[in-house]
A and B are shown apart, each in its own frame.
Chain A
């Protein structure tokens, strides 16, 4: 009997939760995402989407701007996107290009200068600006390797780890 009651309470609680979160479509989102499209100097990031939905207080627009159908926060966006509804794709990479500074993309900007989205950041910057901005505000980790460990290629470029310069802390003449 007690078992059955517990089960019922559980179902009711779940239903209530579902009701309250209907305005936000986060429940449709993935539980976890592997951010790997740019991984080269750092390992891919295992992004815990569910945890971050909770951290954002179930407000999708904190990260997804106006694309999920929830009211957008940024006053610069409201003018056009107060009621623009849900976008076909909501993944960061759907809007933020990985080739932000390649010639074909830059020429497009040059031709359509009047677009408001002319200053839209690329995918790498979209991740870092959004993630680190929020992490700083909430005292979450902000070190590079707190989120993604560096690969051997990364160690090589940063001249760190086994590629660290030998001879330690000697000062070089500035060349002036």
Chain B
């Protein structure tokens, strides 16, 4: 006969609990549809074939967001010698790529404003928000500086204000949400671009425009709109005349939103954190009830004695 002791009881409890959790949660996760983005959200279509690397967008971003003075003027092209990344002082940067074509291509980097942002999913203080207009914004007043979003972002966009000793926070492009987007105006970079490398519009319209451009000039463009489907779709999308991996894009991200990889795990976390402590505290109290009663009795007896 199997001995029914505390250890076995707990083992069964844990296994049963975990199984129940997994089963019920995977059913939930299966039922939860992918969000797919707000229907009328705005976006930007970036046509790399038009960019000449004038860096007007960088200058406009710097002015609009009140960012610190750059190390070099924005008309200095020596910055193209290295591949730069977004930083606390530059929410957008333009890099130059030598390609298989006979001319280089320039690529602007900024937050792509995913439909289902991994940064938002990863943030445990809910600092991030995907607005119906399409921007992924964040509230620096609640940011605790854990930098999980920097790890979660598939495009390596959020940067950290290491220079701030008192209150370092995460910094990134917010689609000019507070100053422009929420009033229906295009972001500063789009307005500054001389060649309409950046086209602002409703995301659904931009997708049609992108495919129309490919159709009308099939020899110029590769037949792919980067960001239409990648990681569940992004508000910023790209057209290129060379394969996207030649101009620094990660072409292995897949079309699943990042959250879908962690949905099942993440749904267990609140259960583990809320139910388990109460459950096991209860087990503990039950298991020790006899002992404590005995102690009580003993102390009463001792007291009498």
Type the 1/0 row for A84-108, where 1 means its CB is closer than 8 Å to any CB of B.
0000000000000000111100100
* Chain B residue at minimal CB-CB distance from A118: B209
Q: Given the complex, which residues of A lie within 8 Å of B156, measured CB to CB?
A: 176
Q: Which of A3-11, A27-35, A46-54, A161-169 contacts B (4 or more CB under 8 A)?
A: A161-169
Contacts of A159 in B (CB 8 A): 59, 62, 69-70, 73-74
Query: Which residues of B, 170-223, contact A by the 8 Å Cβ criterion?
Result: 171, 184-186, 190-191, 193-196, 199-202, 205, 208-209, 212-213, 216
Chain A residue contacts of B190, Cβ below 8 A? 101
Q: Contact check: which of B89, B171, B213 meets A119 at CB < 8 Å?
A: B213
Instruction: Tell me the number of A-to-B contacts counted with CB atoms below 8 Å.
Output: 111
Contact partners of A161 in chain B: CB under 8 A? 73
Which of B30-38, B120-128, B159-167, B247-255 is near enough to bind chain A? Answer: B159-167
A110 at interface by CB-CB < 8 Å: yes
Q: Quick check: which of A13-21, A55-63, A65-73, A123-131 contacts chain B, the rest being far away? A: A123-131
Chain B, 30-58, CB within 8 A of any chain A CB:
50, 52, 54-56
Residues of A within 8 A of B74 (CB): 157-160
Contact A176 B73 (CB under 8 A): no
Separation of A119 and B150 alpha carbons in the complex (Å): 35
| B71 on the A face (CB < 8 A) | yes
Q: Roughly how many angstroms separate A165 CA and B184 CA in the complex, as a whole number?
A: 33
Option from B69, B150, B184, B202 in Cβ contact (under 8 Å) with A110? B202
> Is A165's CB under 8 angstroms from B69's CB?
yes
Q: Do the beta carbons of A174 and B208 come within 8 Å of each other?
A: no
B135 interface residue (CB < 8 Å to A): no
B110 adjacent to chain A (CB < 8 Å):
no
Assess the A76–B216 pair: CB atoms within 8 A: yes
Interface pair B195/A175, CB less than 8 Å apart: no
Indicate if A25 sits at the interface (CB-CB under 8 A): no
User: Which residues from B are CB-within-8-Å of A174?
Assistant: 84-85, 87, 159
> What per-residue 1/0 map shows which CB atoms of B73-110 lie under 8 Å from chain A?
11110000000111111000000000000000000000
Produce 1/0 per residue, B260-273, CB < 8 A to A: 00000000000000
B73 near A128 with CB under 8 A, answer no
Contact with B along A138-176 (1 / 0, CB 8 A): 000010100000000000011111011101111111111
A interface residues, Cβ below 8 angstroms from B? 76, 100-103, 106, 109-110, 113, 118-119, 121-122, 124-125, 128-129, 132, 142, 144, 157-161, 163-165, 167-176
Closest 6 CB pairs of A and B: A125-B196, A175-B159, A103-B184, A175-B87, A160-B73, A101-B186
